[in-house]
Chain A
Amino acid sequence: MRRSLLRHMLVARGIDEEARQLQKQGALDLWLSCQGQEAAQVGSALAVGPDPTVFPSYREHAVALLRGVTPAELVAQWGGRTFCGWDPLGLRFFPYTLVLAAQTLHGVGYSIGRRLQGREDFVVVYIGDGATSEGDMSEAMNLAAVESASVLFVCQNNGWAISKPAREQMRTSLAERARGFGIEAERIPGGDPETVFSACSRAAAHIRAERSPRLVEIEVARMHGHSTSDAQEIYRTGEDIAQARAADPVTAYAARLRASGLVDAAWFDGVEAEVRVLREQLMKEYT
């Protein structure tokens, strides 16, 4: 399991890095980096397993890759080729939704609809901290609570809504807000995938047993700008950015597993080779 966590994080990092590079070369129009959020995404996605349907926001690249979206399919919409590059139903990973929080209500409605039909009704809704200011997020939490929908809300709080810091967006944590709607919630640090995996496993077990919603708020570091068009140096201090990069969950977890002896140099070589092939394929298709 630990090796799996790390492997998915390394793959996601490699593809994200390649997409950033392709955007700089003009091969992609835009890229929204997920760097710094890999532990949150991989930990949550592995914890819930393959059965739940995922309603992502637009930055859940590590979840997408883990669910089987290929790198080329993942970047297709950012290269202007389509609105969605993958097979949403087959992968149970639904299209990215760019209008903030609109997907939260779809996710709850989908879960209700599946339950009415006697089918798997576990749904995971991903959302960023900035998008929780949208009315739809509050409406979705309330709807999920009153309908007792089997929905896991995963909020990745990276501390910024583009340029607006989280402390200016909300006076409470999102977890506290969720509790106000009657949803049990937890706020956890997102640097360690094992912490995320444990919290999301607990939440998933609760959802399966109680058939009611849960929310997990994960504090993550934002290593890059909101998008490749966003010059975060204008509004973030160099010190703040350096801190975020120093808290890189991928390098930290890699170092930890290496130190523990769980993975060795040969294992890293193997993953690196895998990532190199994926990056080369992606580069060929988009340049």
Chain B
Amino acid sequence: MSTASVPLAESINTTLADLLDQDPALLLLGEDIGRLGGVFRVTRGLRDRFGADRVRDSLLAESTIVGQAVGLAMSGLVPVCEIQFDGFTYPAVNQLVTQAARIGDRWNGQVSPNLVVRIPSGGGVRGVEHHSESNEALFARVPGLSVACPSTGEDADQILRYAVRLGSPVVMYEPIRLYWRRNTPVRDARPAKSPTAARVVRRGTDLTIVTYGAVTHEVLQAAHALAPAVDVEVVDLRWVAPLDMDTVMESVAGTGRLLIVHEGTKDVGIGSEIAAFVAEHGFGVLRAPVRRLAPARRAYPPADFEKDYLIGVQQITDEVQVMTE
């Protein structure tokens, strides 16, 4: 059950071009995003179209990118930054956490920075060290930052359009292994209730899987494969901060079972927060213990071993079967 779709990289390119077209205050900033079009070509052709002032090849220094973007945002511009790979985000953490996230409060609301940081992330592409990581949970803990993890071009489009006008910084993770994928599992076409809402991408009655990012595809494949024996509902969070727990609770109320699947490591991860919330507020509707499926707490391995690290369709299927026996 799969369908042809526009690859994520092309879709984001179209959205960015449209945003640049609509808002003269918006500009892009990142390593190699201009002349080269980015290492993933997400910004291909944009420098030619909008000029080097608005599609800016940054220095190869992540703190410079985000720190400069804070100043650009203070001046009234809307910087949309690209960090080249997830694992290179760390030099920018100080500027994101102690600065970008706190500008609004520090300025008593006088400045509300529109600032977006796009980060290609995740594994499954035989990346070398630091090129396959998922550190979204790190930023999800930071008050003042919103963190999005879209798994389709349509969602990325809605999220980006919302993010550039939010008035506080947004970090958006883009799954590398979906950038050029043209075949994706079938999804429920109903749109999300709001730009910040989670999305029920498969309706079901027996068990809820809450997930986000690239692994949403494996979850959907597993769910489709399990039908009709087990009817799985799949919630694609789309945002990990803030979390749309209303949609999660609504789904769990209907199915009574909850499995959380993500690619970032398990301990103190996004799944921990969701499990805790459901235990606190939804204990009465649960028919079985909440379970989490995520990699163990260890660094992302060399490419030869990434299959052991990533959560595959079979593991998801097995887990669902155990939970619904």
- The answer to whether A and B touch directly, with their CB atoms under 8 angstroms apart, is yes
- Give the A interface residue count (CB, 8 A): 32
Q: Does B74 contact A (CB under 8 A)?
A: yes
Whether the pair B71, A105 counts as a contact (CB closer than 8 A) is yes
Given contacts A83-B105, A116-B53, contact A105 B95 (CB under 8 A): yes
Contact digits for A90-119, partner B, Cβ 8 Å, 1 yes 0 no: 000011010100101111111111101101
B69 within 8 A of A: yes
Per-residue 0/1 for B232-243: is the Cβ within 8 Å of any A Cβ (1 yes, 0 no)? 000000000000
**Could you tell me the distance between the alpha carbons of A82 and B102 in the complex, rounded to whole angstroms?**
13
How far in angstroms is the closest Cβ of chain A from B172?
20
Query: At the interface, yes or no: B63 with Cβ under 8 Å from chain A?
Result: yes
Identify A109's interface contact among B71, B102, B107, B111, CB under 8 A. B71
Contact string against A for B residues 73-86, beta-carbon threshold 8 Å, 1 for contact and 0 otherwise: 11111000000000
Q: Which of A1-9, A137-145, A259-267 contacts B (4 or more CB under 8 A)?
A: A137-145
Q: Say if the beta carbon of A240 comes within 8 Å of chain B.
A: no
Asked if B61 lies at the interface with its beta carbon under 8 angstroms from chain A, I say yes
- CB pair B77 A102 closer than 8 Å: no
Nearest A-chain residue to B54, judged by Cβ: A116
Task: A110 to B68: give the CA distance in the assembly, Å.
Answer: 7
Q: Which chain B positions have C-beta within 8 A of A89?
A: 110-111
CB contact under 8 A between A106 and B70, given known A116-B77, A136-B63: yes
Distance in angstroms from A263 CB to nearest chain B CB is 38
Interface string of A127-170 (1 = CB under 8 A from B): 00000000110011011001000000000000000000000000
A116–B27 Cα gap in the complex (Å)? 10
A99, B71: Cβ atoms closer than 8 Å: no
Q: Taking the complex as formed, is B99 at the interface, i.e. its CB lies under 8 A from any CB of chain A?
A: yes
Most buried by A among B61, B70, B71, B98: B71
In the assembled complex, the CB of A116 is this many whole angstroms from the nearest CB of chain B, namely 6
B67: chain A residues within 8 A (beta carbon): 102, 104-106, 109, 136, 139-140
Q: Report if A102-B71 is in contact (Cβ < 8 Å); known contacts: A83-B106, A84-B108, A139-B63.
A: no
Whether A109 contacts B108 by the Cβ 8 Å rule is: no
Instruction: Tell me, in angstroms, the Cα distance from A89 to B61 when the chains sit together.
Output: 28
The yes or no answer to A87 lying at the interface (CB within 8 A) is: yes
Report if A113-B108 is in contact (Cβ < 8 Å); known contacts: A105-B64, A135-B63, A146-B59.
no
**A102 and B99 within 8 A (CB):** yes
Among B68, B75, B76, B108, the residue within 8 A (CB) of A82 is B108
Does A189 have its Cβ within 8 Å of any Cβ on chain B?
A: no
By beta carbon, the residue of chain A nearest B99 is A102
**B residues near A117, Cβ cutoff 8 Å:** 25, 75-77
Knowing A95-B107, A99-B94, say if A105 contacts B74 (CB, 8 Å).
no
Q: Are B64 and A139 in contact (CB under 8 A)?
A: yes
A82 to B107, CA, bound (A): 10
Most buried by A among B59, B76, B106, B111: B106
- Taking CB as reference atom, which chain A residue is nearest B102? A83
A-B contact pairs, 30 of them (CB 8 A): A83-B102, A83-B106, A83-B108, A84-B106, A94-B74, A95-B106, A99-B94, A102-B99, A105-B70, A105-B95, A106-B74, A106-B99, A108-B68, A108-B71, A109-B68, A109-B70, A109-B75, A112-B71, A113-B75, A113-B77, A114-B75, A116-B53, A116-B77, A117-B75, A135-B63, A139-B64, A142-B59, A142-B61, A142-B64, A143-B59
Residues of B at the A interface (CB closer than 8 Å) are 25, 27, 53, 59, 61, 63-64, 67-77, 91, 94-95, 98-99, 102, 105-108, 110-111
